[in-house]
Amino acid sequence: MSAVEQVHWLKKIYDKLTAGLTAKISGETVLAKISGETVVAKISGERVVTNLPAAITQGRVQAPSASGGVALSSGEIISVDIRNLPGNGSVWFGSSPYSGYGYLLLGGESREVKIDNLNKVRVFAQISGQYVIYHAEA
């Protein structure tokens, strides 16, 4: 992974961590973008708290070319970001992926999935032995 890609990856993690900061605003008008829509809100002075993830786990998996693939890991989570490393061939992921079925990730692509356990996500590679990395929030 290039230095630019590493910085992008770390910024993505930082953004997720700082998205849940606590704020106290008193009688201010707040302008925000939510899902691409501009929202204007008058804040009453009450504390606004968004829960941060309890934990972040990360790892890498060597994806086989055998149908059904291999599970990322095991453990309760709320979401996982899966990344096929640059230079890799095609990788599919899902509950039981195989060539042409599941979510396709080309080399260097990533995708976030909301799911409750890492063992429900399996990866399959076009070329056996290529690594996929992930980070998950619990």
Give residue 65's identity as a one-letter amino acid code.
Answer: S
| 52 or 93, higher pLDDT | 93
Question: pTM (2 decimals)?
Answer: 0.63
Co-location of 73 and 34 in the same domain: no
Segments forming the whole domain that contains residue 21: 3-48
Q: What is the pLDDT of residue 101?
A: 83
- Residues 90-100: pLDDT tens digits? 999 998 887 77
**Chain centroid, CA 20 distance in Å:** 16
Q: What is the pLDDT of residue 91?
A: 95
Co-location of 31 and 92 in the same domain: no
Position 67 pLDDT exceeds 70: yes
Report the candidate in 15, 37, 40 with the shortest Cα–Cα distance to residue 29: 40
Co-location of 63 and 109 in the same domain: yes
Number of neighbouring beta carbons within 10 Å of residue 124: 25
Co-location of 70 and 38 in the same domain: no
Co-location of 132 and 83 in the same domain: yes
Co-location of 79 and 42 in the same domain: no
Dihedral through CA 70, CA 119, CA 14, CA 3, nearest 10?
-10
Kindly list the distances between the CA atom of residue 41 and the CA atoms of 17, 35, 45, 46, 128, in Å, as whole numbers in the listed order: 23, 15, 12, 13, 52
Bridge partners, 125 (sequence order): 91
Q: What is the pLDDT of residue 124?
A: 93
* pLDDT band (50, 70, 90) for residue 83: very high
Co-location of 131 and 98 in the same domain: yes
Which two structure tokens, joined as six digits, stand for 96?
Answer: 């039981």
> Left, alpha or beta for 95 (phi > 0: left; psi -120 to 50: alpha)?
alpha
Co-location of 100 and 69 in the same domain: yes
Specify the CATH number for the domain of residue 76.
2.60.120.770
- Give the integer Cα–Cα distance in Å for 47 and 26: 9
* pLDDT band (50, 70, 90) for residue 20: low
Co-location of 28 and 62 in the same domain: no
Q: How many domains does the chain contain in total?
A: 2
Rounded to 5 degrees, what are φ and ψ at 58?
Answer: -145, 160
